[in-house]
Protein backbone atom coordinates (compact mmCIF):
# COMPACT_ATOMS: atom_id res chain seq x y z
CA UNK A 1 0.00 0.00 0.00
CA UNK A 2 1.36 3.40 -0.98
CA UNK A 3 1.49 5.81 1.92
CA UNK A 4 0.23 9.36 1.78
CA UNK A 5 2.99 11.73 2.93
CA UNK A 6 1.64 14.01 5.62
CA UNK A 7 3.37 16.97 7.23
CA UNK A 8 4.29 14.89 10.27
CA UNK A 9 5.79 17.88 12.05
CA UNK A 10 2.25 19.23 12.40
CA UNK A 11 1.15 16.03 14.11
CA UNK A 12 4.26 15.79 16.27
CA UNK A 13 3.60 19.32 17.50
CA UNK A 14 0.06 18.16 18.25
CA UNK A 15 1.49 15.40 20.40
CA UNK A 16 3.47 17.87 22.42
CA UNK A 17 0.74 20.48 22.82
CA UNK A 18 -2.42 18.52 23.63
CA UNK A 19 -3.49 16.08 26.30
CA UNK A 20 -4.83 13.74 23.59
CA UNK A 21 -1.43 12.34 22.62
CA UNK A 22 -2.40 8.81 21.68
CA UNK A 23 -5.44 9.96 19.72
CA UNK A 24 -3.51 12.41 17.60
CA UNK A 25 -0.81 9.88 16.84
CA UNK A 26 -3.63 7.80 15.41
CA UNK A 27 -4.63 10.66 13.14
CA UNK A 28 -1.21 10.58 11.58
CA UNK A 29 -1.57 6.91 10.88
CA UNK A 30 -5.00 7.31 9.33
CA UNK A 31 -3.98 10.01 6.93
CA UNK A 32 -0.74 8.22 6.16
CA UNK A 33 -2.08 4.79 5.43
CA UNK A 34 -5.64 4.61 4.14
CA UNK A 35 -5.36 6.25 0.72
CA UNK A 36 -3.66 4.77 -2.35
CA UNK A 37 -1.96 7.56 -4.24
CA UNK A 38 0.12 7.92 -7.38
CA UNK A 39 3.77 8.76 -6.99
CA UNK A 40 3.19 12.22 -8.48
CA UNK A 41 0.53 13.03 -5.88
CA UNK A 42 2.68 11.54 -3.13
CA UNK A 43 5.53 13.85 -4.03
CA UNK A 44 3.38 16.97 -3.58
CA UNK A 45 3.94 18.88 -0.34
CA UNK A 46 2.86 22.50 -0.13
CA UNK A 47 0.90 24.96 1.95
CA UNK A 48 -2.57 24.25 0.59
CA UNK A 49 -4.19 22.17 3.35
CA UNK A 50 -7.29 23.29 5.19
CA UNK A 51 -6.37 24.03 8.81
CA UNK A 52 -6.59 21.04 11.15
CA UNK A 53 -9.19 21.69 13.85
CA UNK A 54 -10.29 20.18 17.18
CA UNK A 55 -13.19 20.18 19.60
CA UNK A 56 -12.03 18.74 22.94
CA UNK A 57 -14.93 18.12 25.29
CA UNK A 58 -15.20 18.55 29.05
CA UNK A 59 -14.98 14.91 30.24
CA UNK A 60 -11.71 14.87 32.14
CA UNK A 61 -12.21 11.44 33.71
CA UNK A 62 -12.16 7.74 32.82
CA UNK A 63 -15.26 6.10 31.43
CA UNK A 64 -16.54 2.97 29.71
CA UNK A 65 -19.02 4.39 27.14
CA UNK A 66 -18.60 7.25 24.67
CA UNK A 67 -21.35 8.71 22.48
CA UNK A 68 -21.30 11.53 19.96
CA UNK A 69 -23.46 12.50 17.00
CA UNK A 70 -21.95 13.84 13.78
CA UNK A 71 -23.43 15.44 10.66
CA UNK A 72 -21.70 16.66 7.52
CA UNK A 73 -23.80 19.31 5.75
CA UNK A 74 -23.89 19.06 1.97
CA UNK A 75 -21.95 22.31 1.71
CA UNK A 76 -19.32 20.91 4.10
CA UNK A 77 -18.47 17.69 2.33
CA UNK A 78 -15.00 17.72 0.80
CA UNK A 79 -13.06 14.79 -0.56
CA UNK A 80 -9.96 13.72 1.39
CA UNK A 81 -11.49 14.71 4.73
CA UNK A 82 -11.66 12.77 7.97
CA UNK A 83 -14.48 13.87 10.29
CA UNK A 84 -13.24 12.24 13.47
CA UNK A 85 -16.02 12.14 16.06
CA UNK A 86 -14.70 10.17 19.06
CA UNK A 87 -11.05 10.28 20.09
CA UNK A 88 -9.72 9.09 23.43
CA UNK A 89 -6.48 8.51 25.29
CA UNK A 90 -5.31 5.81 27.66
CA UNK A 91 -3.63 2.43 27.39
CA UNK A 92 -5.91 1.62 24.43
CA UNK A 93 -6.11 5.07 22.87
CA UNK A 94 -8.10 5.26 19.67
CA UNK A 95 -10.55 7.06 17.44
CA UNK A 96 -13.80 6.63 15.53
CA UNK A 97 -15.40 8.73 12.85
CA UNK A 98 -16.50 9.07 9.24
CA UNK A 99 -14.48 9.85 6.16
CA UNK A 100 -14.98 11.28 2.65
CA UNK A 101 -12.70 8.99 0.66
CA UNK A 102 -12.36 8.42 -3.11
CA UNK A 103 -13.67 4.88 -2.59
CA UNK A 104 -16.80 6.10 -0.83
CA UNK A 105 -18.17 7.21 2.52
CA UNK A 106 -16.25 5.31 5.16
CA UNK A 107 -16.64 4.47 8.86
CA UNK A 108 -13.43 4.17 10.88
CA UNK A 109 -12.58 2.64 14.25
CA UNK A 110 -8.98 2.03 15.28
CA UNK A 111 -6.98 1.35 18.43
CA UNK A 112 -3.35 2.08 19.12
CA UNK A 113 -0.90 -0.47 20.50
CA UNK A 114 0.48 0.29 23.97
CA UNK A 115 3.44 -1.01 25.93
CA UNK A 116 1.06 -2.51 28.50
CA UNK A 117 -0.53 -4.86 25.94
CA UNK A 118 0.54 -8.49 26.32
CA UNK A 119 -0.51 -9.52 22.79
CA UNK A 120 -1.50 -7.85 19.49
CA UNK A 121 -4.98 -6.31 19.22
CA UNK A 122 -7.43 -8.64 17.49
CA UNK A 123 -10.88 -8.27 15.95
CA UNK A 124 -13.23 -10.77 17.58
CA UNK A 125 -16.19 -9.58 15.50
CA UNK A 126 -16.48 -7.82 12.13
CA UNK A 127 -19.87 -6.63 10.97
CA UNK A 128 -20.91 -7.00 7.31
CA UNK A 129 -18.50 -5.00 5.14
CA UNK A 130 -16.04 -4.26 7.95
CA UNK A 131 -12.39 -4.92 7.20
CA UNK A 132 -9.53 -4.85 9.70
CA UNK A 133 -5.80 -4.56 9.22
CA UNK A 134 -2.71 -3.97 11.34
CA UNK A 135 -1.06 -0.60 10.80
CA UNK A 136 2.45 0.72 11.17
CA UNK A 137 4.26 4.00 10.68
CA UNK A 138 3.94 6.31 13.65
CA UNK A 139 3.47 3.35 15.97
CA UNK A 140 1.28 0.31 15.46
CA UNK A 141 -2.24 -0.90 16.13
CA UNK A 142 -5.38 -2.32 14.54
CA UNK A 143 -7.58 -0.31 12.20
CA UNK A 144 -11.06 -1.03 10.86
CA UNK A 145 -13.07 0.58 8.11
CA UNK A 146 -16.42 0.02 6.43
CA UNK A 147 -17.42 1.45 3.04
CA UNK A 148 -20.40 -0.87 2.62
CA UNK A 149 -22.74 0.77 5.15
CA UNK A 150 -22.20 4.31 3.86
CA UNK A 151 -23.35 7.67 5.19
CA UNK A 152 -25.13 10.65 3.66
CA UNK A 153 -24.70 14.41 3.98
CA UNK A 154 -27.28 16.37 5.98
CA UNK A 155 -27.98 13.30 8.14
CA UNK A 156 -27.07 12.83 11.80
CA UNK A 157 -25.16 9.68 12.76
CA UNK A 158 -24.75 8.47 16.32
CA UNK A 159 -21.42 6.81 17.09
CA UNK A 160 -21.08 4.71 20.24
CA UNK A 161 -17.95 3.06 21.60
CA UNK A 162 -18.05 0.85 24.69
CA UNK A 163 -15.27 -1.01 26.46
CA UNK A 164 -15.66 -3.83 28.99
CA UNK A 165 -13.46 -6.32 30.85
CA UNK A 166 -13.12 -9.90 29.58
CA UNK A 167 -10.80 -11.73 31.94
CA UNK A 168 -7.56 -9.75 31.99
CA UNK A 169 -8.33 -8.21 28.58
CA UNK A 170 -10.53 -5.27 27.57
CA UNK A 171 -12.97 -5.49 24.65
CA UNK A 172 -13.96 -2.46 22.59
CA UNK A 173 -17.19 -2.35 20.54
CA UNK A 174 -18.28 0.19 17.93
CA UNK A 175 -21.88 0.87 16.85
CA UNK A 176 -23.46 3.50 14.57
CA UNK A 177 -27.02 4.71 14.04
CA UNK A 178 -28.50 6.64 11.12
CA UNK A 179 -31.13 9.22 12.04
CA UNK A 180 -32.60 8.70 8.57
CA UNK A 181 -33.41 5.00 9.04
CA UNK A 182 -33.23 4.83 12.83
CA UNK A 183 -31.30 1.56 12.51
CA UNK A 184 -28.24 0.60 14.52
CA UNK A 185 -25.28 -1.35 13.13
CA UNK A 186 -22.55 -3.16 15.05
CA UNK A 187 -19.38 -2.62 13.01
CA UNK A 188 -16.56 -4.22 15.01
CA UNK A 189 -15.40 -5.55 18.39
CA UNK A 190 -11.70 -5.52 19.23
CA UNK A 191 -9.82 -7.45 21.92
CA UNK A 192 -7.11 -5.44 23.71
CA UNK A 193 -4.71 -7.55 25.78
CA UNK A 194 -4.68 -5.22 28.78
CA UNK A 195 -6.86 -4.91 31.85
CA UNK A 196 -8.84 -1.79 32.77
CA UNK A 197 -8.05 -0.04 29.46
CA UNK A 198 -10.80 2.54 29.75
CA UNK A 199 -11.51 5.75 27.82
CA UNK A 200 -9.55 8.72 29.09
CA UNK A 201 -10.71 12.28 28.39
CA UNK A 202 -11.19 14.82 27.20
CA UNK A 203 -12.89 13.24 24.24
CA UNK A 204 -11.71 14.82 21.02
CA UNK A 205 -13.40 15.55 17.69
CA UNK A 206 -11.16 16.40 14.79
CA UNK A 207 -11.42 17.54 11.18
CA UNK A 208 -8.53 17.15 8.76
CA UNK A 209 -7.77 17.65 5.07
CA UNK A 210 -5.13 15.05 4.25
CA UNK A 211 -4.45 15.96 0.60
CA UNK A 212 -3.98 19.75 0.69
CA UNK A 213 -7.36 20.64 -0.79
CA UNK A 214 -7.91 23.70 1.38
CA UNK A 215 -9.74 25.54 -1.38
CA UNK A 216 -12.72 23.32 -0.48
CA UNK A 217 -14.55 24.05 2.76
CA UNK A 218 -15.27 21.06 5.01
CA UNK A 219 -17.62 21.25 7.97
CA UNK A 220 -18.52 18.93 10.85
CA UNK A 221 -21.55 19.32 13.13
CA UNK A 222 -21.46 17.62 16.54
CA UNK A 223 -24.12 17.20 19.21
CA UNK A 224 -25.52 14.89 21.86
CA UNK A 225 -22.18 13.81 23.30
CA UNK A 226 -22.04 11.65 26.43
CA UNK A 227 -19.56 9.74 28.54
CA UNK A 228 -20.43 7.24 31.24
CA UNK A 229 -18.35 7.18 34.40
CA UNK A 230 -16.95 3.92 35.71
CA UNK A 231 -19.57 3.66 38.44
CA UNK A 232 -21.88 2.38 35.70
CA UNK A 233 -24.71 4.82 36.30
CA UNK A 234 -23.47 8.41 36.19
CA UNK A 235 -23.69 10.00 32.73
CA UNK A 236 -21.83 13.17 31.79
CA UNK A 237 -23.20 15.25 28.87
CA UNK A 238 -20.68 17.18 26.77
CA UNK A 239 -21.66 20.63 27.98
CA UNK A 240 -18.64 22.54 26.71
CA UNK A 241 -15.76 22.13 24.29
CA UNK A 242 -12.45 23.82 23.58
CA UNK A 243 -12.14 24.69 19.89
CA UNK A 244 -8.67 25.11 18.43
CA UNK A 245 -6.80 25.16 15.14
CA UNK A 246 -3.25 23.84 14.81
CA UNK A 247 -1.56 27.24 14.94
CA UNK A 248 1.85 25.84 13.98
CA UNK A 249 0.38 24.75 10.63
CA UNK A 250 -0.59 28.36 9.86
CA UNK A 251 2.98 29.67 9.76
CA UNK A 252 4.70 30.55 6.50
CA UNK A 253 6.00 27.44 4.80
CA UNK A 254 3.72 25.12 6.79
CA UNK A 255 0.93 22.95 5.44
CA UNK A 256 -1.99 25.36 5.99
CA UNK A 257 -0.33 28.72 5.34
CA UNK A 258 -2.40 29.57 2.24
CA UNK A 259 -5.59 29.11 4.27
CA UNK A 260 -4.33 30.43 7.60
CA UNK A 261 -7.38 32.67 8.05
CA UNK A 262 -9.94 30.25 6.62
CA UNK A 263 -11.34 28.48 9.67
CA UNK A 264 -14.17 28.84 12.14
CA UNK A 265 -15.82 26.98 15.00
CA UNK A 266 -18.30 27.33 17.81
CA UNK A 267 -22.01 26.73 18.42
CA UNK A 268 -24.79 27.02 15.85
CA UNK A 269 -28.51 26.28 15.88
CA UNK A 270 -31.14 24.82 13.55
CA UNK A 271 -34.74 23.67 13.94
CA UNK A 272 -33.62 20.67 16.04
CA UNK A 273 -31.51 22.70 18.46
CA UNK A 274 -27.91 23.70 19.11
CA UNK A 275 -24.78 21.89 17.94
CA UNK A 276 -21.03 22.44 17.86
CA UNK A 277 -19.46 23.06 14.48
CA UNK A 278 -16.04 23.27 12.87
CA UNK A 279 -15.28 24.55 9.36
CA UNK A 280 -11.84 24.37 7.76
CA UNK A 281 -10.76 25.71 4.39
CA UNK A 282 -12.73 27.47 1.69
CA UNK A 283 -11.74 30.96 0.63
CA UNK A 284 -14.94 32.48 2.02
CA UNK A 285 -14.55 30.95 5.48
CA UNK A 286 -13.58 33.52 8.11
CA UNK A 287 -13.30 33.14 11.91
CA UNK A 288 -15.67 34.87 14.26
CA UNK A 289 -14.02 33.36 17.33
CA UNK A 290 -10.54 33.09 18.83
CA UNK A 291 -8.01 30.29 18.47
CA UNK A 292 -8.36 28.72 20.98
CA UNK A 293 -11.83 29.40 22.38
CA UNK A 294 -14.37 27.63 24.57
CA UNK A 295 -18.01 27.07 23.62
CA UNK A 296 -20.94 25.68 25.58
CA UNK A 297 -24.34 24.08 25.06
CA UNK A 298 -26.63 23.83 28.07
CA UNK A 299 -27.74 20.24 28.53
CA UNK A 300 -30.83 19.36 30.56
CA UNK A 301 -30.96 15.62 29.83
CA UNK A 302 -29.72 13.27 32.54
CA UNK A 303 -29.20 10.18 30.37
CA UNK A 304 -29.06 9.38 26.63
CA UNK A 305 -32.54 9.18 25.10
CA UNK A 306 -32.30 6.31 22.62
CA UNK A 307 -35.00 3.63 22.56
CA UNK A 308 -34.01 0.64 24.76
CA UNK A 309 -33.42 -2.78 23.24
CA UNK A 310 -36.52 -4.75 22.27
CA UNK A 311 -36.62 -8.44 21.36
CA UNK A 312 -38.71 -8.98 18.23
CA UNK A 313 -38.91 -12.77 18.35
CA UNK A 314 -37.31 -15.75 20.06
CA UNK A 315 -37.60 -19.52 19.88
CA UNK A 316 -36.11 -22.59 21.53
CA UNK A 317 -35.68 -26.17 20.40
CA UNK A 318 -34.77 -29.18 22.50
CA UNK A 319 -31.89 -31.20 21.05
CA UNK A 320 -32.59 -34.89 20.47
CA UNK A 321 -29.42 -35.88 22.31
CA UNK A 322 -27.30 -34.27 25.00
CA UNK A 323 -30.13 -32.46 26.76
CA UNK A 324 -29.28 -29.09 25.22
CA UNK A 325 -31.72 -26.32 24.38
CA UNK A 326 -31.04 -24.37 21.15
CA UNK A 327 -32.14 -20.74 21.39
CA UNK A 328 -32.42 -18.16 18.60
CA UNK A 329 -33.71 -14.59 18.83
CA UNK A 330 -34.02 -11.39 16.83
CA UNK A 331 -33.94 -7.81 18.09
CA UNK A 332 -35.63 -4.70 16.73
CA UNK A 333 -32.89 -2.83 14.76
CA UNK A 334 -34.29 0.62 15.61
CA UNK A 335 -33.79 -0.01 19.33
CA UNK A 336 -30.43 0.08 21.07
CA UNK A 337 -28.13 -2.82 20.16
CA UNK A 338 -27.70 -5.80 22.41
CA UNK A 339 -24.77 -6.00 24.80
CA UNK A 340 -25.71 -9.01 26.93
CA UNK A 341 -28.32 -11.78 26.75
CA UNK A 342 -29.72 -13.72 29.71
CA UNK A 343 -31.50 -17.08 29.43
CA UNK A 344 -33.34 -18.19 32.55
CA UNK A 345 -35.60 -21.02 33.76
CA UNK A 346 -38.41 -20.14 36.17
CA UNK A 347 -40.90 -22.24 38.10
CA UNK A 348 -43.48 -19.48 37.63
CA UNK A 349 -45.06 -19.45 34.13
CA UNK A 350 -44.95 -15.62 34.11
CA UNK A 351 -41.25 -15.49 34.97
CA UNK A 352 -41.79 -14.09 38.44
CA UNK A 353 -39.57 -14.73 41.42
CA UNK A 354 -36.03 -16.05 41.52
CA UNK A 355 -34.95 -18.13 38.50
CA UNK A 356 -34.22 -21.81 39.02
CA UNK A 357 -31.16 -21.43 36.80
CA UNK A 358 -29.79 -18.88 34.36
CA UNK A 359 -26.80 -17.98 32.26
CA UNK A 360 -25.50 -14.76 30.72
CA UNK A 361 -23.64 -14.31 27.46
CA UNK A 362 -21.72 -11.06 26.99
CA UNK A 363 -21.19 -11.25 23.24
CA UNK A 364 -23.01 -8.33 21.61
CA UNK A 365 -23.18 -9.86 18.13
CA UNK A 366 -24.61 -13.22 19.27
CA UNK A 367 -28.17 -14.16 18.19
CA UNK A 368 -28.19 -17.87 18.99
CA UNK A 369 -26.93 -20.02 21.84
CA UNK A 370 -27.05 -23.50 23.38
CA UNK A 371 -27.83 -24.22 27.02
CA UNK A 372 -27.73 -27.42 29.00
CA UNK A 373 -30.26 -26.86 31.75
CA UNK A 374 -28.82 -28.14 35.05
CA UNK A 375 -29.89 -31.67 35.93
CA UNK A 376 -31.50 -30.57 39.19
CA UNK A 377 -34.03 -28.47 37.25
CA UNK A 378 -37.13 -30.40 36.17
CA UNK A 379 -37.40 -29.43 32.52
CA UNK A 380 -41.01 -30.61 32.37
CA UNK A 381 -41.95 -27.94 34.93
CA UNK A 382 -39.50 -25.18 33.98
CA UNK A 383 -40.49 -22.15 31.95
CA UNK A 384 -37.75 -20.56 29.82
CA UNK A 385 -37.38 -16.82 29.24
CA UNK A 386 -34.94 -14.56 27.44
CA UNK A 387 -33.93 -10.98 28.24
CA UNK A 388 -31.47 -8.66 26.51
CA UNK A 389 -29.43 -5.83 28.01
CA UNK A 390 -28.40 -3.15 25.55
CA UNK A 391 -25.11 -1.29 25.10
CA UNK A 392 -26.28 1.44 27.52
CA UNK A 393 -27.40 -1.21 30.07
CA UNK A 394 -31.16 -0.87 29.61
CA UNK A 395 -33.01 -4.18 29.95
CA UNK A 396 -35.67 -5.51 27.62
CA UNK A 397 -38.83 -7.15 28.87
CA UNK A 398 -38.68 -10.87 29.60
CA UNK A 399 -39.84 -12.88 26.61
CA UNK A 400 -41.12 -16.46 26.99
CA UNK A 401 -39.21 -19.24 25.20
CA UNK A 402 -41.60 -22.11 24.54
CA UNK A 403 -39.65 -25.27 23.75
CA UNK A 404 -40.57 -27.07 20.53
Q: What is the tens place of the pLDDT at every residue in 327-371?
A: 999 999 999 999 999 999 999 999 999 999 999 999 999 999 999
Burial label, 147 (beta-carbon count in 10 A; 0-12, 13-18, 19+)? middle
* Residue 31 shares a structural domain with residue 180: yes
CB 101 within 8 A of CB 4: no
- How far out from the chain centre does Cα 225 lie? 12
Kindly state whether residues 286 and 338 are assigned to the same domain: no
Containing structural domain, residue 372:
311-400
Whether residues 197 and 250 fall in one domain: yes
Domain check: are 33 and 110 in the same one? yes
Give the other-Cβ count within 10 Å of 204's Cβ: 24
Q: Does residue 395 sit within a domain?
A: yes
Residue that finishes a domain, picked among 233, 267, 296: 296
- Nearest alpha carbon to residue 127 among 179, 178, 189, 65: 189
How many residues are listed for the chain in this entry? 404
pLDDT at residue 41, rounded to an integer: 40
Same domain, 156 and 284: yes
In whole angstroms, give the CA distance from residue 291 to residue 248.
12
Whether 341 and 386 have beta carbons less than 8 Å apart is answered as: yes
Same domain, 255 and 324: no
Q: How many domains does the chain have?
A: 2
383-390 sheet: strands from edge to edge: 357-361, 338-346, 383-390, 399-400
Torsion angle in degrees (nearest 10) through CA of 324, 393, 95, 63: -120
Same domain, 269 and 346: no
**pLDDT for the residue 25:** 44
Residues in the chain predicted with pLDDT less than 70, given as ranges, are 1-45, 138, 320-323
Domain end point (choices 267, 296, 325): 296
Give 297-352 as a DSSP string: -----SS--PPPP-EEEEEEEE-SSTTEEEEEEEE-TTSPPEEEEEEEEESSTT--
**Per-residue confidence (pLDDT) for residue 402, from 0 to 100:** 84
Helices then strands, counting H and E runs in the chain, come out as: 3, 25
CA distance 192 to 204: 21
On whether residue 303 sits in a domain, the answer given is no
Indicate whether 22 and 110 sit together in one domain.
Answer: yes
Does residue 1 lie in a domain region? no
pTM for the model:
0.90
In this structure, the answer to whether residues 206 and 339 fall within a common structural domain is no
Question: How many Å separate Cα 48 from the centre of its chain?
Answer: 30
What's 321's domain CATH number? 2.60.40.10
Amino acid sequence: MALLPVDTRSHLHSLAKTNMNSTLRLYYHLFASLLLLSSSAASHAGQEAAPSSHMVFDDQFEGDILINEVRVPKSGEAMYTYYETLGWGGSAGGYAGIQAHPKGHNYIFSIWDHKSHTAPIEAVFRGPGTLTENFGGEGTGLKSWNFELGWETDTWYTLVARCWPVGDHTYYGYWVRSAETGKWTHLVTMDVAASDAYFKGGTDAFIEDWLETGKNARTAHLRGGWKRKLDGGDWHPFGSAKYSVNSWDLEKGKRSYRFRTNWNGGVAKDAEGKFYFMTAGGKKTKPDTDNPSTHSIKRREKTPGYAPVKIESAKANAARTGGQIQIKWKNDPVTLPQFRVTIAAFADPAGKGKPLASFDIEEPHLREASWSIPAEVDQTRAHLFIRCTDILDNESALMPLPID
